[in-house]
Amino acid sequence: MPNPADLPPEIFTLILSHALDEDVETQKLLSLSRLSRGWYASLIPRIYSSWTYNGASEPFITLYKFLLTVLRDQQLAAEVQTLRLGNWGFYPIAAAPAPELQFPDDEIELVCGAVRRAGIAHLEEEILVSLKRRDRRPLVALLLVSLPKLRRVWAHIPRRDPVLGAVLKKVINPGHPEPSSALAELSELYICQEPPVLPPWADSDSEDENEVSTPESWDSLQLNYIWPAFYHKPLRTLSLLYLDTKNASTWLPASEDRAPNKLSRLEHLHIVAIWNSVCAYADMHALISQPTALKSFTLSIRDNPYSHRRNEIISNAELWNCLLQHQETLESLDVCRSKGMHRDMNGRFGLIRSSFQKLKHLAAQIEILLGGCCGEPKAPFRLKDTVPTSIESLTLYGDEGFTVHTDLAAQLKEMVTGSRGDSTFPHLTSIVLDDSYVLYTDDGINIRPAYQDLVTVCKARGVKLRIEETFNSIGSLNRYHQLWGEVLYMQEDGEARHSAASETRKRLRDPVELILKDDGVYGEEMRQLHNNGNDRFTSSSLPADDPAIIHTIPFSDHRGDTAYMIFKNAASIPLPPLFCFAIYFTDPFTTTVPESASMQSLYEVLHPSQNDLGYIRYDMYFLPGATPEDCVAHYNTEKKIRGSPKDQIRVFETLPLGEDHQHHSQASADQTQKQLRIPGMVKKYPCLDDDYRSVLFISTRPASALSSSSWNDGAGLLCVEFDRKQTSNKLQLPQLNESVIVPDLEQDVHFTSTDAHMSGNTLPPIRITRCPLNQEDPSYDFTRREGPHPISDTIYDVAHVVSNTYAGPWVEAGKKGWICWR
């Protein structure tokens, strides 16, 4: 049989494209390329057309050698059109000490040449030093500017990458008369925040606000280093996943302030904001106004009705005003806000038909199009009046709009059939409805008759009607996977690497580079590890002969007064959890502490069955007549003396592997009490709002009621937030010695930063809110769109984020027989 490679190259290449799948393994292609020179010449472009690097499973040397390959062979470098890069961040604090790497002189010269060509010669010495420590960040930056035909990049970038930032600013210099030739063909860029790798003690307890470990940096994409991408002239598609929009207006000037040569030529902009980002109008306007002529725009943001900053989030009406800039060019619009949760006075879009006459694909919540959110009036028009006649596909997200606009099925039928039976939407071929309970009858199975009728009408008209469930706050499920499906696994690997580094570093194959195992057992092992770290601790997970009980353990606070630790654990293991909240009892007439049964009852109220995270400890203090200011002072002093629970984690991880504390298990009760070390106190709590870092709770119940086991009487607890953040982008805040806002204990208090800004005041050093204990509390009204959050829900939300850090060592210590901390 004649060699197919002897055919003309274009015919042989066509045969290969039909014979080989798109996702065929590179190793198979390499094997085929060794058959002959003809096979080699035809397959090399395919082998090098795309390259993938996942730093969670591949070492430094893999990336380093590939960079050397493209630096030495410009012909191969010109073949690379697609890069998929992830988990290349370098965190020295998380890695074990290791000897520095030594490179041959010729390799150093190659790297130095690339540094100079990238225009960052001033960083040359620093880069060489960092490479010896296996810092992969400079390698990626140099790789990007060494591929002349690069067109598409998927990148999970680290929280901090100054080399990348320097390269982008040098390459993408709008004011430079002779722009760089690097990245000259880059037209698509998809960026996500890389999951960080942190040691167990380097998270929310860090005192440095700029640490990589601060909560907002864990999983949020920042604009600090990537903002020049908006002005890269060849770039047409930019996708920003889990973006923190904060300070976008600082990095990206308003369109009227830009110089003529500093224009964004983006045509497709996709923004998925991180869940806790305050998408303020100024920042969102800066993002949307950068492109001069968008063809498609995707936006997903989360409205938090319980946040004190809820009304700073851009409203629908404000978003409409921003989008009007692109009314002449926009063909696809996909906007999704949190389902059923919105800011006050959210507003709606105007008549889309009169402005966006080229729109072909529209996806949005019904209330964005027709109003009616949060009791606001509905629009004076219907769907058929606002949707452009050019529309080809319409997607409607739930949930509130489905409930408010009860005639939605009829409105959609009007679009499909028209008032006279002839549709005024000749191009409409697809309608997608979010999978909302409103579409179904009371049995939750059958479609309501109105929507069954719509199905019949659509079928007759040739319109595909589908019901699909979408992510709660990510927007279209199809759009999400379309943009990120190729590299989502890198995000999962990065999260697994973080879990491994945080909990059981011994499971890492290479602790120096934090490389995950790649054996056949790794996948199941890491899934099990991840599940163990996040599973709720319940009595069902304990041996039948050693069920969980609520422990009440007394201890002495820094003043010598008796306090109590309350937590749930196995009956035979009174080992206190490491993550804690403080509860103060301040009634002036409290002369005796509550009975154990009453304190245990309070634990059960704070941990209803759906929120039973077992790895939480409550430290209960009794300060008769204390003010909230007194409680904060007591808390800070206690924290200063006892330190952080990370101290116990460090001791636990540095002990020999076989250490099991058997001698403690056999100790007498008196000895155990003497040896007992009270765990430290949390310095900063994750997932609090943007203004305060610490929290405690106060019970003002009368002394006579403290012996009662019934806590859901509507009195609730005071939630006291303090340790105010001092940031440069906020208003000037008062000094800590200013007076504290002390509430009337008989009234609800909800002092918000929005209230402060509107009244011309600034945030108080301490903010106090009376909150219901849980959702069963008589004072809790789930129908309210604003007001205090149940304390049990707040505890769950905060503690769930740090489960990997605190729960893992506590569970492992319990398995080893520990009954107290060293």
Count of beta carbons in the 10 Å neighbourhood of residue 504? 17
In this structure, is residue 462 part of a structural domain?
Answer: yes
CA distance 253 to 175: 15
Count of beta carbons in the 10 Å neighbourhood of residue 460? 10
Q: Examine the domain organization and report whether 458 and 525 are in the same domain.
A: no
* Pairwise pLDDT comparison (406 vs 667), residue with the higher score: 406
Distances, alpha carbon 387 to alpha carbons 232, 325, 353, in Å: 33, 18, 5
Q: Examine the domain organization and report whether 649 and 749 are in the same domain.
A: yes
Q: Examine the domain organization and report whether 494 and 513 are in the same domain.
A: yes
Nearest to 199 by CA among 536, 650, 542, 535: 650
Q: Examine the domain organization and report whether 406 and 444 are in the same domain.
A: yes
pTM for this model (two decimals):
0.64
Q: Could you tell me the pLDDT band of residue 512, with boundaries at 50, 70 and 90?
A: confident
Domain that residue 425 falls in:
311-334+341-472
pLDDT digits (tens, 9 = 90+) for 592-630: 666 777 788 888 888 876 555 678 899 999 999 899 999
* Pairwise pLDDT comparison (472 vs 360), residue with the higher score: 360
Q: Examine the domain organization and report whether 526 and 574 are in the same domain.
A: no
Q: Is the dihedral of CA 576, 577, 579, 580 positive or negative?
A: negative
Asked if 35 and 1 count as a contact pair (C-beta separation under 8 A), the reply is no
Give residues with Cβ within 8 angstroms of 366, minimum separation 6.
372, 396, 397, 398, 400, 401, 402, 404, 405, 408
In this structure, is residue 291 part of a structural domain?
Answer: no
Q: Is the dihedral of CA 257, 261, 262, 266 positive or negative?
A: positive
In this structure, is residue 432 part of a structural domain?
Answer: yes
Q: Examine the domain organization and report whether 459 and 410 are in the same domain.
A: yes
Q: Examine the domain organization and report whether 494 and 530 are in the same domain.
A: yes
Which pLDDT score is estimated for 48? 74
pLDDT digits (tens, 9 = 90+) for 96-132: 667 888 999 999 999 999 999 988 999 999 999 999 9
Helical ranges in 394-540 per DSSP H: 400-404, 408-417, 449-461, 477-484, 488-503, 522-534
Least confident piece of the model among 185-199, 661-675, 700-714, 802-816: 661-675
Distances, alpha carbon 17 to alpha carbons 10, 151, 408, in Å: 11, 20, 47
CA distance 395 to 377: 23
Positions of E strands within 44-150 = 50-54, 82-86
CA 492 to chain centre: 13
Q: Which amino acid is at 585?
A: F
CA distance 272 to 538: 35
Give the dihedral of Cα atoms 606, 611, 613, 618; nearest 10 deg: -10
CATH at residue 433: 3.80.10
Six-digit token pair at 591? 């002369």
In this structure, is residue 105 part of a structural domain?
Answer: no
Span 296-321, average pLDDT:
83
Give the dihedral of Cα atoms 292, 298, 304, 308; nearest 10 deg: -10
Q: Examine the domain organization and report whether 387 and 459 are in the same domain.
A: yes
In this structure, is residue 586 part of a structural domain?
Answer: yes
For the chain, what is the mean pLDDT? 77
Q: Does the pLDDT at position 739 exceed 50?
A: no
pLDDT digits (tens, 9 = 90+) for 426-457: 999 999 998 888 888 877 678 899 999 999 99
CA distance 224 to 217: 12
pLDDT digits (tens, 9 = 90+) for 161-182: 889 989 988 888 755 656 577 8
Q: Which residue(s) pair with 447 in the sheet?
A: 440
Count of beta carbons in the 10 Å neighbourhood of residue 129? 11
Q: Which amino acid is at 742?
A: V
Q: Could you tell me the pLDDT band of residue 655, with boundaries at 50, 70 and 90?
A: low
* Pairwise pLDDT comparison (514 vs 347), residue with the higher score: 347
In this structure, is residue 401 part of a structural domain?
Answer: yes
CA distance 146 to 116: 12
In this structure, is residue 77 part of a structural domain?
Answer: no
* Helix, strand, coil % in the chain, rounded to nearest 5: 40, 15, 45
Give residues with Cβ within 8 angstroms of 218, minimum separation 6.
195, 196, 203
* Pairwise pLDDT comparison (813 vs 243), residue with the higher score: 243
CA distance 62 to 74: 19
CA distance 759 to 761: 5
Q: Does the pLDDT at position 528 exceed 60?
A: no
Asked if 500 and 509 count as a contact pair (C-beta separation under 8 A), the reply is no
Which pLDDT score is estimated for 422? 54
Asked if 749 and 720 count as a contact pair (C-beta separation under 8 A), the reply is no
> SS in 3 state form for 221-233?
ECCCCCHHHHHCC
Q: Examine the domain organization and report whether 388 and 458 are in the same domain.
A: yes
Six-digit token pair at 205? 């307890």
Q: Which of 523-527, 576-580, 596-600 has the highest mean pLDDT?
A: 576-580
pLDDT digits (tens, 9 = 90+) for 341-381: 666 778 899 999 999 999 999 999 999 999 987 778 899 99
Q: Examine the domain organization and report whether 388 and 511 are in the same domain.
A: no
Residue 18 burial (C-beta neighbours within 10 Å; 0-12, 13-18, 19+): exposed
Q: Examine the domain organization and report whether 423 and 387 are in the same domain.
A: yes
Q: Examine the domain organization and report whether 460 and 353 are in the same domain.
A: yes
Q: What percent of the chain has pLDDT over 70?
A: 68
Least confident piece of the model among 423-427, 676-680, 802-806: 802-806
Q: Please tell me the total count of domains within the chain.
A: 4
In this structure, is residue 285 part of a structural domain?
Answer: no
